[in-house]
Amino acid sequence: MIKVNNLTKIFTIGSNTLTALKKVSFSVSSGQFLAITGMSGSGKSTLLYQLSLLDSPNQGTVSIENEDTSVLTSEERISFRLKNFGYIFQDYALLPMLTAKENVMMPLLMQGIDEKVAQKKAEEALSKVDLQDRLNNLPSQLSGGQQQRVSIARAIVHNPKILFADEPTANLDTESSETVLDIFLNLHKQGQTIIMVTHESEYAKLTQRNIELRDGSIINETLQKNNR
């Protein structure tokens, strides 16, 4: 489903260059729950940005369902993300002027779905993350864990092919983190492809497959036995 080939990302800061990813290659099959781990600065978030088309590599390609994404224009990337991806940010990234329900409705509205239908689907998505009683709360009226659950609901409401999560538990307490992981595991059981960046090895172990990065290269790859 996802094929990464010789992916290289170089950052230029003044006269200095930093190679964040060095010819990384791997593939992810449909329905897989993949964790990308590594120390801070290992390149895991940079890799996620390339996979989710939020950034462009200097070299190499990312093909999704045999479509080479490097040829897409900026607007086409936005449209591609809307159609195929759900994205969960580390800091939740909810729009502050929208309620929980309205935040979740956004991808649906952008897909041209009728507002009433979008409302219903958003309510269903929020029920899945156990937030049916917080529909009309603004992000500022929710706890960190609740905001992250809204973010998950927003990411899954339009049934994306791939769910990307960038350190989704980094800002959460243990209880909230476990709730988020439970949601991911449930989604995975339902066949959702998930690619999660995390620096917490115990959460990575819960996934199906783990890719470990160091200095921009894959140094280890493991398949968990307790997952399919």
Partner 1 sequence: MKLRKSLSKLKKDIKVGQFLAVRELKRNNPWSTALIIFVMSLTFFNMVLMGGILIGLADGMMNSFKTYYSSDILIKPASQNVSISQSSMLDSLIKSLPSHKASSKRYTMAAILENENNVKIKDTEIGQRVSSTLVGINPSEEDAVTGLSTQIITGEFLNDYDTEGVVLGKGLLAEYSKGSSTESRLEGVDIGSRLKLIIGGTSIDVTVKGIIDTGNSTVDNRIFILESTMRALTNNQGLNVNEIAILLNQGSDSKEAKGYIVDNFPYNSDIIVETADETLPKAISDMKKTFSMLGNIVGVISLVVGAITIFIVIFVNAITRRKYIGIMKGIGISARAIEISYVTQSLFYALAGILFSSFIIIWFLAPWFDLHPLKFPVSEGKLAITTSGLILRGLILTVTAFISGYVPAWMVTRQNTLDAILGR
**Closest separation between CB of residue 113 and partner 1, Å?**
9
134-164 burial code (b ≥16 CB/10 A, e <16): bbebbbeebeebbbbbbbbbbbbbbebebbb
**C-beta of 118 vs 204, nearer to partner 1:** 118
**C-beta of 113 vs 224, nearer to partner 1:** 113
**Closest separation between CB of residue 112 and partner 1, Å?**
5
User: Terminus-to-terminus CA distance in the chain, angstroms?
Assistant: 17
Strand order of the β-sheet with 209-214 is: 85-88, 162-166, 193-197, 33-38, 209-214, 217-223
In the complex, the residues that contact partner 1 under the rule CB under 8 A are 49, 54-55, 74-75, 78-79, 81-83, 85, 87, 89, 93, 95-98, 102, 106-107, 109-112, 115, 138, 154-155
68-95 burial code (b ≥16 CB/10 A, e <16): ebeebeeeebeebbbebbbbbbbebebe
**C-beta of 1 vs 110, nearer to partner 1:** 110
Cβ atoms of 37 and 213 closer than 8 Å: yes
Range list of β-strands (E), the chain: 2-13, 16-28, 33-38, 59-64, 67-68, 85-88, 162-166, 193-197, 209-214, 217-223
**C-beta of 74 vs 226, nearer to partner 1:** 74
**C-beta of 75 vs 133, nearer to partner 1:** 75
Cβ atoms of 212 and 37 closer than 8 Å: yes
**Closest separation between CB of residue 93 and partner 1, Å?**
4
**C-beta of 67 vs 115, nearer to partner 1:** 115
**Closest separation between CB of residue 228 and partner 1, Å?**
29
**Closest separation between CB of residue 220 and partner 1, Å?**
27
Helix (H, G, I), strand (E, B) or coil at 213: strand
**Closest separation between CB of residue 138 and partner 1, Å?**
7
